[in-house]
Amino acid sequence: MEGEYLKRGFFQKGRLTWGKLHTGYQTTRRRDLPTGLFSLIPKKSHTSPLRITAGRGYSECVRHLICRGANPNTLAGGRGALHDSCEGRHTECTQLLLSRGADPNLQSEDGQAPLHLCTTKETLECAKLLLGYGALVSLPCHYTRATPLHVASVRGLEEHVALYLSLGADPCARNREGETPLNAACAACDSPHQYARYLRVAEMLLKAGGDARMPGKKGHGPLHNASSNCHLKLVQMLLDHGASVNVTNSAGYTPLDCALQVCTDYPDEDLHHLVQTLLNHGAAPPNVKMWRCCAASPLAFEILLNSYDRIPAGDFWVEAVPPEVREEHLAFYESVQQVANQPRRLQHLARCAVRKLYNGQCHRAIPDLGLPATLTAYLLLFPEGIIH
C-alpha cells in the first residue's frame, strides 16, 4: 500500500499529504524525509509573478502577465503588485498597472494603500501617478490611521508634503495614537544633519493650518518633541505659532524639562541657546531635581540657575559633573557652590523683577527697552561664565 502511495505522489506517515504544487500553495522539502518526498504541511504562497516583476521594475514582464490574464488587484501574501511597484520606486510599472485597472486605493492586509508606501524622495512620481488616477490623499491606514501626509512628514519628504497639502490633505489629521503630521515630523527630526528639511516640512504644515499646540501620544506635543531633539529653529517656529511653553505631558514634563534631559545627547549643539529661548518665552524654572541633567553643560546650567532668585543649598548635582568638565570650568562650579543658600546680588534680583514683569514676553519686550547692549544681554540671561 505504501508503495502505491509513493507512485501517486503521496507519502504516508500517520497521514497523507500532496507532494505536488497546488494553486496558491507550495510544498517544501523536509530534511528528515527521503529525497523526492515532501513536507506534510502545505505552505501558503506569499507572492505572485506579477508582484515579483512589479517590485523589481520589469515593466515588460508586467505587461506580458497582465495580457495573459493576471489580475493587478489580487492580494498575494497580503499585498498587491501596485504596493510593490510604489515601494520599489518603479514609475513605469506603476503607470502600467494603473492604466490596466489597478486600484490606487487598494489596501494591503496591514491596511496600507500604495500611497502609504511612497516613503522616499524617489517615489514622488509614483505618488503623482497614484493621485492622478484617483488615490485619496487623506486615506488613513486601516490599523494605524496614519495618512500619507503622516508618512511623508515623518520621513521629512518636503516635495511629497507640498504635493499632498496642495491637494487638500488635512494637516490636523490624527493617527491612532493621536499624533498629527506636525507632531510626527517634530518627533522624527532627531539628527542635526536632518534639521533643515524637517524645519521646512514643519513650516509647510503650520502654514497649511497645522496646530502647534495639539498634543500627541501621552500629551507629548510638537514643542516637547522639538525640544527633545534640540532643534532650536524649530522650537522658535513653534513658539511663534502659539505653542505653550509650560504645557506638561502625561509624565509631568514641560518642553524645558525635555530639553534639559538631552544635554549630554547633543554635546555639539548650542543647547544653552535652546534653554535660554524657552526661559525668555516664559518657561517656568524647573524642579531642582532637573539640575542633575544639565550640570555637566556649564553654559546651559548657568542660564538655568540665573532664572531663580536664589540657589538652594545642596550639592546633589555635583556628582553629575565629570571631573574633566569640572576642572575645565572650575571657577564657574566654585561660584555656584559659594552662592548656594546665600542672598543673590541686588543686580540679579532686579533682573528677576524685570523678567517677572514681562513674563513670557521677555524675548520681545526687553530688546525694545532701548537699554545698553550689555544690560539687555544680562536681562536675557546671556551667560558670563560665573554666578554672582
> What is the pLDDT at residue 366?
97
pLDDT in the model for residue 314: 81
Q: What is the CATH number of the domain that holds 91?
A: 1.25.40.20
User: With b meaning 16 or more CB within 10 Å and e meaning fewer, what string describes 241-254?
Assistant: bebbbebbbeeebb
Residues 6+ apart with CB under 8 A from 37: 11, 19, 29, 30
pLDDT at 263: 84
pLDDT for 266: 81
End-to-end CA separation in angstroms for the chain: 99
Contact partners, residue 142, CB within 8 Å, separation at least 6? 107, 110, 111, 112
- The residue among 44, 49, 45, 27 whose CA lies nearest residue 36 is 27
User: Is position 175 within any domain?
Assistant: no
* pLDDT for position 268: 65
Torsion of CA 37, 42, 43, 44, to 10 degrees: 140
387: closest CA among 351, 359, 355? 351
Nearest to 284 by CA among 296, 275, 294, 293: 275
251-261 residue pLDDT tens: 999 999 999 99
Specify if 322 maps to a domain. Answer: yes
Which domain, by its residues, includes 341? 254-388
Query: Cα(142)–Cα(176) distance, rounded to whole angstroms?
Result: 10
| Residue 233 included in any domain | no
Q: Domain end: 135, 162, 183, which one? A: 135
**Boundary (domain end) residue, out of 105, 135, 165:** 135
Tell me the C-alpha distance between 33 and 273, whole Å: 69
Gap between the Cα atoms of 14 and 69, Å rounded: 40
pLDDT score of 269:
66
Task: Evaluate whether residue 263 is within a structural domain.
Answer: yes
- Total domain count, the chain: 2
Which residue, 107, 135, 163, sits at the end of a domain?
135
pLDDT tens digits for 136-187?
A: 999 999 999 999 999 999 999 999 999 999 999 999 999 999 999 999 999 9
pLDDT at site 217: 83
CA distances to 11, 17, 229 from 14, rounded to whole Å, are 9, 10, 61
Cell of 336: 555656584
Measured between alpha carbons, how far is 64 from 70 in angstroms, rounded to an integer? 9
Cα–Cα distance, 306 to 351 (Å, whole number): 9
In a domain, 14, yes or no: no
Ranges in the chain, pLDDT < 50? 1-34, 37-39, 42-43
**Domain annotation covers residue 61:** yes
User: Within a domain: residue 219?
Assistant: no
Distance of alpha carbon 132 from alpha carbon 135, whole angstroms? 7
Whether 9 is in a domain gets the answer no
